[in-house]
Amino acid sequence: MRGIILAQLLALAGSEKSQYEPFFSESKPYVYNYEGIILNGIPENGLARSGIKLNCKAEISGYAQRSYMLK
């Protein structure tokens, strides 16, 4: 009996659908600020490291049905 209940719970959890495709309105632009750091080198004491810091603004707007424009 426990096996049947466990099998039903696993089947129920596996049948749940998730929407992975994003939805953006065609009439509204979405603006995101992004900041990142890229480091190069060996992470040990006394060794040289270098890097660059990135800042950008990304704007996503709907172009057509299921098509988007990234600026």
| The one-letter amino acid at 60 | I
Distance set, CA 64 to CA 30, 31, 51, 67 (Å):
15, 18, 39, 5
* pLDDT above 90 as % of the chain: 24
State the pTM of this model: 0.49
Domain spans, the chain: 23-71
Q: Which of 19-23, 31-35, 65-69 has the highest mean pLDDT?
A: 31-35
**Phi and psi at residue 65, to the nearest 5°:** -65, 120
